[in-house]
Amino acid sequence: MTFIPGNVLPTPLFGIVDALRYPASSIRILDWTIPAKPAVSELVELLKSLPRLHTFHCPYLSWGNEKFPASILSSVNTLALTFGPPLAEIDAENTSISLRKIILDTRWDVGLWEEFMDIYGTFLTSIHFDCNNFARNLTDYLDMVNRQCPNLLQMTICVEEFSSISFVDSPLPSVGYLGLMSQKFQETRSGYRKLFSSLAILNAVVPTLRVVQLLDCHNVQCLLTRHSRVVTHAFEHELVGSNFRIVDHEGNLLSDSLTVMQKA
């Protein structure tokens, strides 16, 4: 794994890309999740020399007119980019494509991903949406995914707060697993009510859904300790007879975690 930490890199990044060429044959994870950016042309050449690269995170880089080396998708399984880059030509139908998971930041216009998804969407089985302050754009992204990603099995969504989630205008794809996380650790009662009402909608329109997981321990603890009545009401009313189970960050049934919390 090669991780580029933000507190040690100078700007500009003299020699960093060149230094990564020495262990190139063994690099499996390249995580460049810092604002300091390499020269795109140098990074492209580096990527072409990483035959075992499995995970590539570079969410702050703008590719400009530089073509993304799509040939790396024969080894890369997980990809996180700012937005869909210009693509170098590759015969996807006759090339082994390993790409299965992509991380999308909804602050960017969904149209910037259309070309990429048109070619590679069919290979994806997992998508993570990082919504931050842009949950309003999630509907457009879900529309795109419903059109171009027919083989999805899993989806995770990170929002600023649960009250911003809505599956009314654009239904979730036919996934079996949904992970949810709020960056607002101390969520309000109304936020959790909105969460469970949204899940009730999914129960009616996504029959394939089997597991909903609350991914963050702070969200779970806040829900169980401060808003346990919201959970109880949801299980007794909105989610009665639901097709899916709701689990906490550790994979335990939320109903069981609530019982343990109440007995403590």
Instruction: Give 154-190 pLDDT, tens digit per residue.
Output: 999 999 999 888 887 667 899 999 999 999 988 899 9
> Would you state the pLDDT for residue 10?
42
pLDDT, one tens digit per residue, over 117-150 is 999 999 999 999 999 777 778 999 999 999 999 9
- Which CATH architecture is the domain 104-264 placed in? Alpha-Beta Horseshoe (3.80)
pLDDT of 59 over the 90 cut: no
Written as one letter, the residue type at 213 is Q
Sign of the CA dihedral running 199, 177, 126, 78: positive
How far is the C-alpha of 108 from the C-alpha of 106, rounded, in Å? 5
Helix residue ranges per DSSP H, the chain: 16-19, 40-48, 114-120, 138-148, 189-205, 217-226, 228-236, 254-263
pLDDT band with cut points at 50, 70 and 90 for residue 7:
very low
pLDDT confidence tier of residue 220, bands split at 50, 70 and 90: very high
Residue type at 258?
L
Give every CB contact of residue 194 below 8 A, 6+ residues apart in sequence: 162, 163, 165
Give the pTM: 0.88
Query: What is the tens place of the pLDDT at every residue in 63-116?
Result: 878 888 888 999 999 999 888 877 766 656 667 899 999 999 998 889 989 989
